[in-house]
């Protein structure tokens, strides 16, 4: 049975096409999440500076990079995939590269 499943996995292919700007990706150093009963919204941004406004208040400046909207079940699948990826990364690079 395991061999049969393995054969099916090898026969599956996923081909994605997209504009070059999307394939290049974006850098984000902050992520925000909101959920409703049926879906979740993930916002990613790049925060690059703090500036002082006219009243002397510090204002953090950044650029919105991307918004991902997905079902909550897809969000759980994403979490599980990231947990697995992080565990493999920590095993491969035990001394660094991943903040706790």
Give the per-residue pLDDT at 3. Answer: 45
pTM reported for the whole predicted model? 0.68
pLDDT beneath 70, residues of the chain:
1-11, 95-100
Nearest to 42 by CA among 18, 71, 16: 71
Residue-level pLDDT at 7: 46
**Residue 15 dihedral angles phi and psi, to the nearest 5°:** -115, 125
pLDDT at 15: 83
């Amino acid at each position: 049975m395991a061999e049969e499943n393995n054969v099916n996995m090898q026969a599956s292919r996923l081909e994605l096409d997209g504009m070059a700007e999307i394939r290049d990706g974006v850098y984000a150093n902050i992520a925000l999440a909101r959920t409703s009963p049926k879906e979740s919204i993930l916002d990613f941004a790049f925060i690059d500076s703090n500036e002082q406004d006219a009243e002397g208040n510090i204002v953090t400046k950044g650029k919105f990079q991307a918004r991902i909207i997905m079902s909550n079940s897809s969000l759980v699948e994403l979490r599980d995939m990231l947990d697995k990826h992080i565990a493999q990364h920590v095993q491969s690079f035990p001394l660094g590269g991943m903040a706790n």
